[in-house]
Amino acid sequence: MPLDEFRSAYDLSFWSGLPLRKFEVPLTGLRDALPDFELRSFGAPPDDNPRMRMIVRMPHDDDMQLRPVAAVSDRYDLLQHRVVASWLASNVQELGLTDARAKVVMTEYGERIRITIPLDDRSCDLSAKSRKQAVDVGDIYQPEIEVLNSVDRSSALHVSIRWRRLVCLNGMFTVDEDRMRSVHHVDLSRTQFVKDFIEQRLSVKPDVLAQLQDWKGRQVTKDKVQAWCEDHLRAKGIWPVNDCARLWAILETGYDGAVQPPTKRGERLPLWSYGVGQHMRVPGVPYPIETAYDLAQLLTWITSNQRTVQMQIEGTEAVPKLVESFLAS
């Protein structure tokens, strides 16, 4: 197998079937880097529909064509990505992070967007007695602001504080208190609302780190996790079978890779019969795993290395419940 097969197998490439663009810019230049949209009539009179509107992406960067991206009702409230970018720049700069950069994942024509802003100076160490004291680089977590927005009705504006473990760059999960979900556009007409949320959540000790600390004291075994993977994650359809096979193989070898399903078809074969390449050692996790904290790291590793945005986000956010489900079993 080619040496780059792991990257090609799990490179983030799609959002609900739409191809992606990925880039990074200084936060101060984020607004100009994003496309502009217009609400237009749905059809030309007399062949229009007065109760519908069309969202059109205006010419942008190397694509100078007008691109229709969605049909919406005449009451749809369009929230421009560029307005969200202005809010973020204002909020983050008021936090004193003048050199912040934004990582952008965007569908080909820009109708859906995910913006991630790492907060480099707010890192904390899970093993340190003080949040300002860093001892073990393997346990340093960095918060990041994550924003989702769409102009095609696929999702309302979401603002979250996520925690990422630096040693493996896994997309660590969030807790409910660190998430503004499906907030109505009108409620966010003032940037102060977003700013207050970000400031308030970053000023308190994050609940998610306390939960991780607790899991460090909960012992687990490889065999029990493999049985749970087969009998729970796979049998109940919680994860796709290929992801279950990856977890089973990582538990067995400490390595992750591209999956080769068994050649025999027509029956449910055990996870050990799936071929999983040993292309990359999973960083930051001991082999064999010892605690529920290690299991959480493996789950976030797999959900972070996915080809689709929705699996990255939904899968990673489900990790706390999965770990608690395993411990309860």
pLDDT tens sequence across 159-173: 888 888 877 766 665
Q: For the chain, give every domain's residue range.
A: 7-205, 222-328
Averaged pLDDT, 190-204: 72
pLDDT reading at 211 higher than 80: yes
Distance, CA of 37 to CA of 63 (rounded, Å) = 14
pLDDT reading at 188 higher than 80: no
Joined tokens for residue 295: 């299991």
Q: Mean pLDDT score of the chain, rounded to an integer?
A: 85
Distance, CA of 43 to CA of 66 (rounded, Å) = 15
pLDDT reading at 222 higher than 80: yes
pTM: predicted TM-score of the whole model, two decimal places: 0.86
Residue 156: the pLDDT is 82
Whole-angstrom distance between the N-terminal and C-terminal Cα of the chain?
Answer: 38
Q: Are 110 and 215 in contact (CB under 8 A)?
A: no
Residue 282: the pLDDT is 92
Which sign does the torsion angle of CA 234, 237, 240, 243 carry? negative
